Amino acid sequence: MSEEKETKQQEHINLVFIGHVDAGKSTLSGQILLLTGQVDKRTIEKYEKEAKEKNHESWWLAYILDIDEAERARGKTVECGKAEFRTDKKRVTLLDAPGHKGFVPAMIQGAAQADVAGLVISARKGEFEAGFERGGQTREHLMLSRTLGVQKLLVLINKMDDPTVNWSKDRYDEIVSKLEETIDDAGYDLKKDVVFLPIAGYTGANIKEKRDSASWVTQPTLFEAIDSLPPIVRMTDKPLRLPVAAKGKDERGQLFVAGKIESGALKTETEYILVPSYKKFTLTGIELGDGTPVTQADSGENVTIYPKGIEEEDIFVGQVICAADKPCYQSMIFEVQMMILSLPDSSPVISRAYRSMLHIHTAAVECQLVQIDKTFGRKGKVLQENPDFIGVNANCVAKLKVSQPIAIEKFSEIPQLGRFTLREKTNTVAIGKVLRIKPIA
């Protein structure tokens, strides 16, 4: 059996680790790659030595994905790390998102490419509370992951081996109880969409095998939970949409572009178009996340492609690669439905001309609120027509205008290109979906 055929037999999923800073996401990511044989003994010894020299001996697992020197020095993930591993039934692209409040845009980039989120929670006394209470990132990451279309949630109660926890069932139950209401508020179905798992990322307990834990632990391992996930619904019947997540040149000087195929399929020697620049090109090669070369990749795959007939300066993050005969919309003005989540104490309301950053698929661009059409209640009843301003918890239909043309779709047609967030400085102001689009001719 060829490697390409074997690869296609295993369902592919995109898993992003999210959660508050210091929850142990990078260490968990490193442990997974260690347990699946992605890292050799010599590399392990190198990382252990480097971490010891920096007086952070327990951080060596995080170094596997945190390759930037600044990240290693601070012990904080800044960019969204990416790796591949396999379970018995799944082929997984792992995205390790930063947890720090200052790097939420990078977290959004990771979650925008994911099907499943692993919400990593530190059980250590004080750390769970810091992430869960006001100012922590747990709630915001949950809301963002749901808004960005992440379908399933694995809640990983990490650091169960910490001396302040010592695999306490009471501590685990306390954390689960507090999280359930927040997860429900974010829009996840606790019975259908969510699995809670006690783990220890540093020792590897309950990740690949049931070991080094306590007798009360009856939950599946992380790998078993991944294998038990129902098949992800893919948009195979829609035209190709691939938001650009990264670009660059490899060691041979060959141009590459990376991203997740949100809909349709990608084939070599076929013409495609970049929106909004409308540059056309073909492909000389396609690689899956694990480096496997293929001639076709389908919806859901996280791929690296090698374009021909286009230059590096023609491509930027946030553009969308489309079928040449069926490009997505290019627009600067569109109607949205959105909910206001938070505003600074100094500005308890927003009105027309309010400016913020719009994050939609992998794009981030300045935008302006140009019109508030109406506000409505939970059951859809219109509360006010054309209000002058709106405040926190308001649901509204409005019009947004961006500072430059972007590639966009209506939520009803291709949800992944029609969901958005509005952010100001370090706050997520609003979440919403695109209802109607004014195309640029």
Q: Are 122 and 24 in contact (CB under 8 A)?
A: yes
Dist CA 140 CA 138 (whole Å): 6
Where does the pLDDT of residue 39 fall: very low under 50, low under 70, confident under 90, or very high at 90 and above?
confident
With b meaning 16 or more CB within 10 Å and e meaning fewer, what string describes 260-278?
bbbbbbbebeeebbbbbee
CATH topology of domain 329-439: Elongation Factor Tu (Ef-tu); domain 3 (2.40.30)
Residue 432 has pLDDT above 60, yes or no: yes
* The domain defined by 3-227 carries CATH number 1.10.3720.10: no
Kindly tell me if the per-residue pLDDT of 46 is higher than 70.
no
Does the structural domain 241-323 have CATH classification 2.40.30.10? yes
Of residues 163, 78, 169, 165, the one with CA closest to residue 129? 165
pLDDT given for residue 290 in this prediction: 81
| Contact in structure between 356 and 423 (CB atoms under 8 Å) | yes
Instruction: Pinpoint the residues of the chain covered by CATH 2.40.30.10.
Output: 241-323, 329-439
The pLDDT tens digits for 111-125 are: 778 899 999 999 999
| CA–CA gap between residue 249 and residue 257 (Å, rounded) | 9
Q: What is the mean pLDDT of the chain?
A: 86
DSSP readout, 154-220?
EEEEE-TTSTTTTT-HHHHHHHHHHHHHHHHHTT--TTTTEEEEE-BTTTTBTTTBS-SS-TT--SP
Mean pLDDT over residues 310-323, rounded? 94
Check whether 239 has a pLDDT greater than 70: yes
Of 39-48, 226-235, 368-377, the poorest mean pLDDT is in 39-48
- H helix or E strand, kind and range, residue 390: strand 389-391
Q: Look at the chain and count its residues.
A: 441
What does the pLDDT read at residue 103? 55
Q: What pLDDT is stored for residue 407 in this prediction? A: 97
pLDDT given at position 143: 82
As annotated, the residues of the chain forming the CATH 3.40.50.300 domain(s) are: 3-227
Query: How many CB atoms within 10 Å of residue 301?
Result: 25
CA dist 281 and 242 (Å) reads 14
Tokens, residue 146 = 């749901």
The pLDDT value given to residue 419: 93
Distance of alpha carbon 136 from alpha carbon 153, whole angstroms: 19
- The crossing angle, in degrees rounded to 10, of helices 169-185 and 138-147 is 50
List the structure tokens of 97.
């998102």
pTM of the model: 0.83
Residue predicted with more confidence, 26 or 371: 371
Q: Residue 264: which of 325, 307, 322 has the closest Cα?
A: 322
Least confident of 41-55, 269-283, 425-439: 41-55
